[in-house]
Amino acid sequence: MVLAGGPDRERPVSLMSGAEVAVGLQQAGHEIIQRDIGPGKLEALEEFTAWGGEVIFPVLHGAWGEGGPLQRILEQKKLRFVGCRSAAAELGMDKVRTKDVWSRNGLPTPRSEVIERVAMGQLPGVTLEPPVVVKPPCEGSSIDVAICHDKKQLSEAMGRLGQAHDRLMVEQFVAGKELTVGLLERPAEQGGGVEALPVLEIVPTTSFYDYDAKYQREDTQYRFDPDLPVAVVKRVQELAVRAHELVGCRHLSRVDVIVDKSGQPWLLEINTMPGFTSHSLVPKAAAKVGVAFYALVDRLARLGVSG
């Protein structure tokens, strides 16, 4: 059963991803049904049990569908599913906690601080000097992300985003190449472990890789040959694998990285259920190493069955 939709702000992306996954699984020879789901809309899980399904493929993005609550429900019902277990999903959704885990284990990630609602709009509450990135800690798809190059932009962003969020993370902006690394678990018969897919450089024509650049625009460039030394690219892949393992991810993830002008990689965030739309990056990277979309989702479904 492919689950998509959900209550989160990334619902439109989830529906697109779910439709693509359903088609891919059908092409791989699976019998599938696709259903919408939400906190007050769990009938699909009873249908799944009555149907005798083997595994659930939840293609949801956002706090409820990707960040732990749905995964806890699936665990409580003892249903097999693709993707992180609830603890890792909850950790990976919270950028603040994720960065803390990485930092405590020696992985490079830009300095940041959390500003609570009571301090919104009060610049003395922000100690980092611009340029900085302001983002909600538990949103994805670059929703409500602002790059602030001076204190005026920072004040405006804090005031505007503070109306919608109780907490905001202010992170030191790092100029450099924007990279992403897809991670896939190997099947047991292939030795297990985590495989880093080819590093993909993202070159948006907009000021940064925002929601439109990710899902709507057709002029974003994706390059598998970033102008970086081989050793740096290898280091990026190694850091991505370690970041995935420290969060406790299962089956797949995607790690976003910036490499600065000195060649130093900086971990930004992790996506525990990356997108599966026509614009999505893990399918692009898998295709680069000869894994077609139907084979990718088939592999993930089989991993979900095996636990």
Query: Mind listing the pLDDT tens digit for each residue in 10-46?
Result: 899 999 999 999 999 999 999 999 999 999 999 999 9
Which residue range is the domain that position 75 belongs to? 2-83
101 and 211 both lie in a single domain: yes
Q: Based on the domain organization, do 192 and 151 belong to the same domain?
A: no
- Asked whether the beta carbons of 10 and 51 are under 8 A apart, the reply is no
275 in active site? yes
What is the structure's pLDDT at 307?
81
- Please compute the mean of the pLDDT values over residues 126-148 and round it to a whole number: 85
Which of the four pLDDT bands, split at 50, 70 and 90, describes residue 218? Answer: low
One of 65, 254, 280, 304 is an active-site residue; which one? 254
Residue 306 within any structural domain of the chain: no
Say whether both 244 and 100 belong to one domain.
Answer: yes
CA–CA dist 158, 297 (Å, integer) = 40
- For residue 140, the model assigns a pLDDT of 59
- Measured CA to CA, the distance from residue 63 to residue 51 in angstroms comes to 28
Q: Residue 169 has which token pair? A: 């993370």
**Are 169 and 97 a contacting pair, CB within 8 Å?**
no
Domain count, the chain: 3
2: pLDDT strictly greater than 70: yes
Point out which residues pair with 168 in neighbouring strands.
115
Contacts of 76 (CB under 8 A, 6+ apart): none
Verify whether residue 105 is a known catalytic residue.
no
In-domain check, residue 304: no
Residue 208 scores a pLDDT above 60: no
Distances from the Cα of 270 to the Cαs of 62, 183, 241, 252, 257, in angstroms?
13, 10, 11, 11, 9
Does the residue 28 lie in any domain? Answer: yes
Tens of pLDDT, residues 260-305? 999 999 999 999 999 998 789 999 999 999 999 999 999 999 999 9
Same domain, 11 and 54: yes
| Confidence grade of residue 165 (pLDDT, cut at 50, 70, 90) | confident
Over residues 229-256, the mean pLDDT reads 98
Together in a domain, 188 and 248: yes
Residue 217: is its pLDDT beyond 50? Answer: no
Known catalytic residue at 271: yes
141 included as an active-site residue: yes
Active site residue 62: no
Q: Do residues 189 and 98 share a domain?
A: yes
Please state, for a pLDDT cut of 90, what percent of the chain lies above it. Answer: 78
Q: Among residues 14, 253, 271, 280, which one is catalytic?
A: 271
Band of pLDDT at residue 259, cut at 50, 70 and 90 = very high
Q: Are residues 213 and 273 in the same domain?
A: yes
CATH number for position 103: 3.30.470.20
